Amino acid sequence: MGVLEQLAATIEARKGADPETSWTAKLLSKGPEKAAEKFGEEAVEAIIAAAKNDRENLTYEAADVLYHLLVMLAARDVKLADVLAELERREGTSGIAEKAAR
Ligand SMILES: N=c1c2ncn([C@@H]3O[C@H](COP(=O)(O)OP(=O)(O)OP(=O)(O)O)[C@@H](O)[C@H]3O)c2ncn1[C@@H]1O[C@H](COP(=O)(O)O)[C@@H](O)[C@H]1O
Protein backbone atom coordinates (compact mmCIF):
# COMPACT_ATOMS: atom_id res chain seq x y z
CA MET A 1 0.00 0.00 0.00
CA GLY A 2 1.36 3.43 -0.94
CA VAL A 3 1.58 6.30 1.50
CA LEU A 4 -1.51 8.03 0.04
CA GLU A 5 -3.62 4.87 0.31
CA GLN A 6 -2.36 4.35 3.88
CA LEU A 7 -3.23 7.94 4.80
CA ALA A 8 -6.69 7.64 3.20
CA ALA A 9 -7.31 4.47 5.24
CA THR A 10 -6.21 6.25 8.45
CA ILE A 11 -8.53 9.18 7.66
CA GLU A 12 -11.43 6.77 6.97
CA ALA A 13 -10.74 5.06 10.31
CA ARG A 14 -10.88 8.45 12.07
CA LYS A 15 -14.55 8.91 11.13
CA GLY A 16 -16.31 8.80 14.48
CA ALA A 17 -13.04 8.99 16.47
CA ASP A 18 -12.65 11.38 19.40
CA PRO A 19 -12.18 14.99 18.15
CA GLU A 20 -10.19 15.66 21.35
CA THR A 21 -7.41 13.30 20.28
CA SER A 22 -7.67 13.28 16.47
CA TRP A 23 -7.22 16.35 14.27
CA THR A 24 -8.91 14.46 11.42
CA ALA A 25 -11.95 13.60 13.56
CA LYS A 26 -12.11 17.22 14.72
CA LEU A 27 -12.06 18.49 11.12
CA LEU A 28 -14.61 15.89 9.94
CA SER A 29 -16.93 16.76 12.85
CA LYS A 30 -17.17 20.32 11.48
CA GLY A 31 -18.71 19.05 8.22
CA PRO A 32 -17.73 18.74 4.54
CA GLU A 33 -17.90 22.50 3.93
CA LYS A 34 -15.25 23.13 6.60
CA ALA A 35 -13.04 20.38 5.16
CA ALA A 36 -13.38 22.02 1.73
CA GLU A 37 -12.55 25.45 3.17
CA LYS A 38 -9.46 24.04 4.90
CA PHE A 39 -8.33 22.40 1.65
CA GLY A 40 -8.69 25.78 -0.08
CA GLU A 41 -6.59 27.51 2.60
CA GLU A 42 -3.82 24.94 2.28
CA ALA A 43 -3.93 25.19 -1.53
CA VAL A 44 -3.50 28.97 -1.32
CA GLU A 45 -0.49 28.50 0.99
CA ALA A 46 1.04 26.12 -1.58
CA ILE A 47 0.32 28.61 -4.38
CA ILE A 48 2.11 31.37 -2.45
CA ALA A 49 5.14 29.12 -1.83
CA ALA A 50 5.24 28.18 -5.53
CA ALA A 51 4.92 31.81 -6.66
CA LYS A 52 7.79 32.79 -4.32
CA ASN A 53 9.91 29.85 -5.54
CA ASP A 54 10.19 28.71 -1.90
CA ARG A 55 10.78 25.04 -2.70
CA GLU A 56 11.22 23.91 0.91
CA ASN A 57 7.93 25.46 1.98
CA LEU A 58 6.21 24.25 -1.21
CA THR A 59 7.15 20.68 -0.28
CA TYR A 60 5.66 21.15 3.21
CA GLU A 61 2.52 22.89 1.95
CA ALA A 62 2.02 20.27 -0.79
CA ALA A 63 1.93 17.59 1.93
CA ASP A 64 -0.72 19.68 3.76
CA VAL A 65 -2.69 19.98 0.49
CA LEU A 66 -2.65 16.20 -0.08
CA TYR A 67 -3.73 15.45 3.51
CA HIS A 68 -6.55 18.00 3.38
CA LEU A 69 -7.62 16.79 -0.09
CA LEU A 70 -8.02 13.29 1.37
CA VAL A 71 -10.01 14.65 4.34
CA MET A 72 -12.28 16.60 1.95
CA LEU A 73 -12.85 13.48 -0.17
CA ALA A 74 -13.60 11.41 2.94
CA ALA A 75 -16.06 14.04 4.16
CA ARG A 76 -18.04 13.51 0.92
CA ASP A 77 -17.48 9.74 0.78
CA VAL A 78 -15.44 9.92 -2.41
CA LYS A 79 -12.91 7.10 -2.51
CA LEU A 80 -9.24 7.74 -3.30
CA ALA A 81 -9.40 4.55 -5.40
CA ASP A 82 -11.98 6.21 -7.66
CA VAL A 83 -9.81 9.33 -8.06
CA LEU A 84 -6.79 7.15 -8.91
CA ALA A 85 -8.92 5.13 -11.37
CA GLU A 86 -9.91 8.38 -13.10
CA LEU A 87 -6.24 9.38 -13.38
CA GLU A 88 -5.44 5.92 -14.73
CA ARG A 89 -8.23 6.28 -17.32
CA ARG A 90 -6.65 9.54 -18.49
CA GLU A 91 -3.17 8.05 -18.72
CA GLY A 92 -1.67 8.45 -22.18
CA THR A 93 -4.24 11.03 -23.35
CA SER A 94 -2.62 14.41 -23.82
CA GLY A 95 -4.55 17.34 -22.37
CA ILE A 96 -4.16 19.02 -25.76
CA ALA A 97 -5.82 16.08 -27.56
CA GLU A 98 -8.53 15.81 -24.89
CA LYS A 99 -9.41 19.52 -25.23
CA ALA A 100 -9.49 19.31 -29.04
CA ALA A 101 -11.92 16.36 -28.84
CA ARG A 102 -14.47 18.25 -26.68
N1 LIG B 1 -0.90 14.33 7.48
C2 LIG B 1 -1.49 14.81 8.45
C3 LIG B 1 -1.57 16.22 8.63
N4 LIG B 1 -1.08 17.25 7.91
C5 LIG B 1 -1.47 18.37 8.56
N6 LIG B 1 -2.17 18.06 9.66
C7 LIG B 1 -2.72 18.96 10.68
O8 LIG B 1 -3.54 19.88 10.04
C9 LIG B 1 -3.56 21.04 10.81
C10 LIG B 1 -3.36 22.18 9.86
O11 LIG B 1 -3.87 23.24 10.43
P12 LIG B 1 -3.24 24.64 10.17
O13 LIG B 1 -1.91 24.58 9.53
O14 LIG B 1 -4.25 25.46 9.48
O15 LIG B 1 -3.02 25.07 11.65
P16 LIG B 1 -4.12 25.59 12.61
O17 LIG B 1 -3.49 25.54 13.95
O18 LIG B 1 -5.41 24.86 12.44
O19 LIG B 1 -4.26 27.07 12.08
P20 LIG B 1 -5.55 27.94 12.02
O21 LIG B 1 -6.60 27.23 11.16
O22 LIG B 1 -5.98 28.09 13.44
O23 LIG B 1 -5.05 29.19 11.37
C24 LIG B 1 -2.48 20.97 11.86
O25 LIG B 1 -3.03 20.70 13.13
C26 LIG B 1 -1.65 19.79 11.37
O27 LIG B 1 -1.06 19.05 12.41
C28 LIG B 1 -2.26 16.74 9.75
N29 LIG B 1 -2.87 15.94 10.66
C30 LIG B 1 -2.79 14.61 10.47
N31 LIG B 1 -2.12 14.02 9.41
C32 LIG B 1 -2.12 12.56 9.23
O33 LIG B 1 -3.33 12.03 9.73
C34 LIG B 1 -3.07 11.01 10.67
C35 LIG B 1 -4.16 10.99 11.70
O36 LIG B 1 -4.10 12.16 12.46
P37 LIG B 1 -5.13 12.37 13.65
O38 LIG B 1 -6.48 12.38 13.06
O39 LIG B 1 -4.79 13.69 14.30
O40 LIG B 1 -4.94 11.21 14.59
C41 LIG B 1 -1.69 11.34 11.22
O42 LIG B 1 -1.06 10.19 11.72
C43 LIG B 1 -0.99 11.86 9.98
O44 LIG B 1 -0.54 10.77 9.20
CA of 82 to the centre of ligand 1 (A): 24
Sequence-distant (6+) residues with CB within 8 A of 90 are 98
Average of pLDDT values for 2-28? Answer: 96
Q: Which residues line ligand 1 (CB under 6 A)?
A: 7, 10, 14, 22-25, 64, 67
Q: Which CATH architecture has domain 3-10+20-100?
A: Orthogonal Bundle (1.10)
Pair 32, 75: CB distance under 8 Å:
yes
| Best CA proximity match to 35, nearest among 68, 65, 80 | 68
Domain ranges within the chain, ordered by starting residue? 3-10+20-100
Distance from C-alpha of 58 to C-alpha of 6, rounded to nearest angstrom: 22
Contact between 27 and 35 under an 8 Å Cβ cutoff? The reply is: yes
* ipTM score of complex: 0.88
Q: Using one digit for the tens of pLDDT, what is the confidence trace for 76-92?
A: 999 999 999 999 999 88
Pocket test for ligand 1, best of 3, 7, 11, 24 (most atoms within 8 A of CB): 24
- For residue 12, pLDDT over 90 is answered with yes
pTM over 0.90: yes
pLDDT tens digits along 18-74: 999 999 999 999 999 999 999 999 999 999 999 999 999 999 999 999 999 999 999
